[in-house]
Structure 1
Amino acid sequence: MIIDNTIKDYLHYLKVERGLTDNTIASYGSDLKQFNKYLTAQKITDYQSIKREQILNFLQLQMQQSKTASSITRTVTSLRQFFQYLAEENIIQKNPMLLIDSPKKREHLPEVLSVSEVEQLLRVPDTTKVLGLRDRAILEVMYATGLRVSELVHLKLADLHLSLGLLQTLGKGQKERIVPLGSQAVKWVERYLDEARPKLLGHQRSQFVFLNNHGHGLTRQGVWKNLKQQVRAAGIQKDVTPHTLRHSFATHILENGADLRVVQELLGHADISTTQIYTHLSKKRLQGVYNRYHPRA
């Protein structure tokens, strides 16, 4: 119970004092819940008695459960932050995580759609129907702006400035940014707002732009599920998620000459090193085009 309450206090601290997003806090909470389960099985009731070897055993169990390398890396980060908090609160005198290195993260290049595949996907929704018009507007916005899916579902009517071709959004760390919205996306959003949204809304009220069948705001899971169906209908043989459209947006504008700092600003990355993965993607695609078309490649 003491351990459970300490985790609850820590998650509350992350929200109130650190100002982390709900998604980040949920990820930390999930990792610590697994760790708590392990401690319970080992009959460990206080943090002071936890040794480095026990944490390593826990991480080894995570690996045996076929957790991905990125998942293990995130778990180590969660534990490192948590034990630092315990030390600062004088709950522990020695921090066992200081003796544990983070696993080396393998560079993973995300899946990206080609321009023609994006066009195939955009043609899938039946825009003669209410939900089809909504889905076309969603796809256009995601590809035109590179919004995260959490930013998309929380997009409000007041965030749209269609006459200026702009929208505003709150990204990670509650950081606001202004993102251009291309003419095609503006056209489809205007059509959705005029023709489809009033029918989805009915007699209700909602501040959110994109609504479900019941007139409520969409969820991340709802967008993900719809996209999976659309990808299948488009005949695209790639593992496409909402984040794939964000990756495709960044890669395509870089390939067309955009400055890396501009892409960083558009994506809302705090650190440009996060944005630099897209330069690797562009080089990889450039190599593929060269190998395919050069007669002596």
Structure 2
Amino acid sequence: MRNRHEEAFLEMLAAERGASPATLKAYAADLADFAAFLGKDWDATAERIGAYMADLAGRGLSARTAARRLSCLRQFHRFLVREAVSETDPTARIEAPRARRTLPRVLSEAEVSLLLQAAGPEGGPGGVLAAARQPVARAALELLYATGLRISELLSLKRAAFAGDAAVLLVRGKGGRERLVPLSEPARDAVLALLARDRAERDGRGAGPFLFPGRDRRAPLTRQGFDKILADVARCAGLDPVLLHPHMLRHSFASHMLAHGADLRSLQRLLGHADIATTQIYTHVLAERLQKLVEQHHPLAVAAVGDFASGGTVLKPGNDASIP
């Protein structure tokens, strides 16, 4: 059972930071796990928090999960200090476990093309999507790949956002932060086709506010409902649905943008990242692009890139080619 300080902390997250119900549920679970570790003696000293972190590692939790739980505790105790409930923050000197940085999995441009084709009436190598799902699937995939939206942002889009000849979308992202995202012509055409289909089939019934409604048209399509549509499109495209998830399209959008010349700051704004450090997970794409530039334009490209790739040195002191 949560105490009043925990309740006040969760209320603050919702009111001041616009935390989603899923985020609040995760924070509440993290606080409950820590409370269970402490037992009846709610004395959260630095030593006991350190012991809790060691306990998480002993339970086999990943460094990423442990770091997230420490982040929750850190925010909670800073809140207590801010509210004058506590004088010190016991998490201040606790270091978060370092998670091994993994590169995001992305689709190739050819695989994205297969998905978009499979979402259309012509289908893909694995078959044709059910006619009722085609406009929904095509509009959703075009939007995800053209804008880099999070799946939560996509499913919360309102029909009114596409009134008139909208060239940009106003998106409300994490923490209630708003951003403008350009809308590509194929994505806009796919959305207009979906809206036209809905008008033709509605026959006077209420449309509801959401672009992608669920069974109850007053509520958006659920994440689970969208996952089923995406799995069907993947099968029609000849791709493994188990390996495909909505965030891969966001990662693919970011990686392909960088590969075609976008800069990190612009990409940060498009993705809605509060910190550019989050966007920097895609810098491996920049490194690949720079290597290609050297290969294409440097007069000594073949020797330089080949030697660099093998770990050697192109110019060595004492060689005729060395620079004094």
Bin the TM-score by the shorter chain: 0.7 to 0.9
Q: Residues 19-63 of structure 1, C-alpha deviation per residue, up to 9 Å, x if partnerless?
A: 444443333222112222323xx332x3xx223332233223333
Give 1:236's match in structure 2, choosing from 235, 239, 247: 239
Query: What is the aligned partner in structure 1 of residue 50 from structure 2?
Result: 56
Deviation, 1:18, is 4.0
Query: What is the aligned partner in structure 2 of residue 190 from structure 1?
Result: 192
Question: Which one is further off, 234-243 or 172-181?
Answer: 234-243
Count of aligned pairs between the two proteins: 289
Letter of the aligned partner of 2:5 in structure 1?
Answer: T
Query: What is the aligned partner in structure 2 of residue 117 from structure 1?
Result: 111
What is the distance in 2 between the residues matched to 1:208 and 1:108?
35
What is the distance in 2 between the residues matched to 1:239 and 1:51?
43
Taking only aligned residues, the RMSD between alpha carbons, in angstroms, comes to: 3.0
* Residues 257/94 of structure 1: CA separation in 2 closer, same or farther (3 Å cut): closer
Query: What is the aligned partner in structure 2 of residue 283 from structure 1?
Result: 287
Question: Which one is further off, 156-165 or 186-195?
Answer: 156-165
User: Residue 64 of structure 2 contacts residue 97 of structure 2 at CA under 8 Å; is this kept in 1?
Assistant: no
Query: What is the aligned partner in structure 2 of residue 131 from structure 1?
Result: 133
Q: Name the SS of the counterpart of 1:147 in structure 2.
A: coil
Letter of the aligned partner of 2:40 in structure 1?
Answer: K
Deviation, 1:196, is 4.0
Query: What is the aligned partner in structure 2 of residue 268 from structure 1?
Result: 272
What is the distance in 2 between the residues matched to 1:78 and 1:6?
14
What is the distance in 1 between the residues matched to 2:203 and 2:261?
41
Q: Name the SS of the counterpart of 1:273 in structure 2.
A: helix
What is the distance in 2 between the residues matched to 1:94 and 1:30?
24
Q: TM-score, normalised on structure 1?
A: 0.84
What is the distance in 2 between the residues matched to 1:79 and 1:23?
17
Deviation, 1:240, is 2.5
Give 1:75's match in structure 2, choosing from 57, 69, 80: 69
Question: Which one is further off, 19-28 or 100-109?
Answer: 19-28
Query: What is the aligned partner in structure 2 of residue 30 from structure 1?
Result: 29
2:46 pairs with 1:43:
no
For 1:63-102, what aligned pairs fall within 5 Å after superposition? 63-102=57-96
User: Residue 161 of structure 1 contacts residue 167 of structure 1 at CA under 8 Å; is this kept in 2?
Assistant: no
Question: Which one is further off, 146-155 or 15-24?
Answer: 15-24
2:253 pairs with 1:249:
yes
User: Residue 67 of structure 2 contacts residue 96 of structure 2 at CA under 8 Å; is this kept in 1?
Assistant: yes
Deviation, 1:217, is 1.4
Report the structure, 1 or 2, having the larger helix content: 1
Q: Name the SS of the counterpart of 1:177 in structure 2.
A: strand
Deviation, 1:77, is 0.6
Question: Which one is further off, 3-12 or 87-96?
Answer: 87-96
Question: Which one is further off, 228-237 or 91-100?
Answer: 228-237
What is the distance in 1 between the residues matched to 2:282 and 2:223?
24
Query: What is the aligned partner in structure 2 of residue 155 from structure 1?
Result: 157
User: Residue 74 of structure 2 contacts residue 91 of structure 2 at CA under 8 Å; is this kept in 1?
Assistant: yes
Query: What is the aligned partner in structure 2 of residue 165 from structure 1?
Result: 167
Q: Which structure: larger Rg? A: 2
Question: Which one is further off, 52-61 or 173-182?
Answer: 52-61
Structure 2 gap ranges (5+)? 122-129, 296-301, 310-324
